[in-house]
Amino acid sequence: MKLDLRKKVYLPISFIILSLVFYAISNRSDLLPASFASSLFFWSAIALLIPNKFLNMVWNDVKKTKAYWVPFSIYLFFHVTLYGIFYNLILGGFNFFPYFGYGVGASIPTPPYLFVYWVSLSPAFFSFIGPYESDVTPFSLFLGLLLSTLIGANVQRIIELRKLIKERKRSLITITAVPSLGVISGTSCCLSLPSIIIYVAAVSTGTFSSVVPILASPIFFTFSYFGLPIASLALLLFNLRDINKVIRRLTMTTLNGRMANPKGK
């Protein structure tokens, strides 16, 4: 109990304090190491605050086969390395020229009330493929890992659900359609579809110059960059919860049926 209390309360608080210390000295020391340490301690504190129930749902209680690892790996690679490039392709069209570059950078410390914003975006690993830039930030990496585990767990559970339904000889399409759509919806939220729709509509109706200030506003950026991935996280979590409920019901029904009709009778 004491160890669990220390893990859930004392360690996160200590890490947040250390994060603030490195944030405070970042102006008086090497910026990149200070930013790295501040973000590492902050996001480690957030990771320690994740409920055990969530970890059990996406990791401990899930059988990890190829159905888990393949979508986990593909989405994590896409989210961390290619998401920014893919987003730029959708909004800016294809305009490629042969160039590749990469690097690591840190942002100048923000005022204290924007501390969370600073540790979310700094430091960052950036890469260029032609004119397209992709940035790996602490927030995108942390959310990418959570989303990848949720996607892996959802797909693994859908495969298990299909097997259970096959055993009971029910329609596969009807029962698994909703969970499958939930996974697709959860991943597509991170493509910032609202901004794409607004962008395309503005171009097609000749109101582009009026809409650009909206797309470039801090409020819309916060909504697209932070709000939509968190919404995806919630959607995938609710979807996984519902799949688990269906699996438990089918498993209990199957067990009860076997007990009522034992073999040999």
The phi, psi pair for 29, rounded to 5°, reads -145, -175
Which of these, 155, 146, 148, 122, lies nearest to 136 by C-alpha position?
122
What is the helix, strand, coil percentage profile of the chain, to 5? 75, 5, 15
Mean pLDDT of 6-31: 89
pLDDT in tens, 62-72: 989 998 999 89
Please give the distance of CA 18 from its chain centroid, rounded to a whole number. 25
pLDDT of residue 88: 61
Hunting for tokens 């495969």 — which residue is that?
Answer: 159
Q: What is the pTM of this model?
A: 0.79
Distance (Å, rounded) from C-alpha 144 to C-alpha 188? Answer: 13
Structural domain spans, the chain: 67-95+137-265
CA-nearest of 42, 59, 27, 261 to 150 is 59
- Three-state DSSP at 122 gives coil
If 0-12 CB within 10 Å is exposed, 13-18 middle and 19+ buried, where does residue 41 land?
Answer: buried
pLDDT in tens, 200-233: 444 444 444 454 555 555 666 667 678 778 888 8
Average pLDDT taken over every residue of the chain: 76
Chain centre distance of CA 119: 17
Distance between CA 1 and CA 167 in Å, rounded? 43
Instruction: Mean pLDDT check: name the lowest of 17-21, 72-76, 117-121, 168-172.
Output: 168-172
Residue 255: pLDDT band with limits 50, 70, 90: low
Q: How far apart are CA 218 and CA 94, in angstroms?
A: 26
Q: Which of 74, 76, 85 is nearest to 128 (CA)?
A: 85
Beta bridge partners of 105: 124
